[in-house]
Amino acid sequence: MSKKLFSFMLGELSIVRLICNQPKCGAIAEMPIARLVRAASVKCPCCQMPYEDENDGPLKMLGKAIHQLKQQKDVDVEFVLPDTQR
């Protein structure tokens, strides 16, 4: 059984960190989750490679889902990162 290492509530999320996986880039950018919903497209700030091929891609859907879940009054969402080392 794994031990609970770290947990946080969905409501605590406000910033997302995006890491570019393009060869020779690897830039890291942080932005408010709300920007994922509003942005026409999300690109790497260094190499300008778009992170999504479509306007309603998974990053935008993630931002929308987080926003909608934060508005829910009947349920809270908690993320748990287990200690995977043995």
Q: Indicate if the pLDDT at residue 85 is higher than 70.
A: no
Instruction: Give SS3 for 12.
Output: helix
62 in a domain, yes or no? yes
Helical ranges in the chain per DSSP H: 33-38, 58-71
42 in a domain, yes or no? yes
pLDDT of residue 56: 78
- Report angle CA 67, 60, 57 to the nearest 5 degrees: 150
pLDDT tens string 33-69: 999 888 878 889 999 999 887 777 889 999 999 999 9
Q: Indicate if the pLDDT at residue 86 is higher than 60.
A: no
- How high is the mean pLDDT of the chain? 87
Q: Please choose, from the candidates 31, 19, 14, 30, the residue with its C-alpha nearest in 3D space to the C-alpha of residue 66.
A: 14
How many independent structural domains does the chain possess? 1
Which helix (H) or strand (E) segment is 82 a member of? Answer: strand 78-83
Range of the domain at 41: 19-72
Give the residue-averaged pLDDT of 14-41: 91
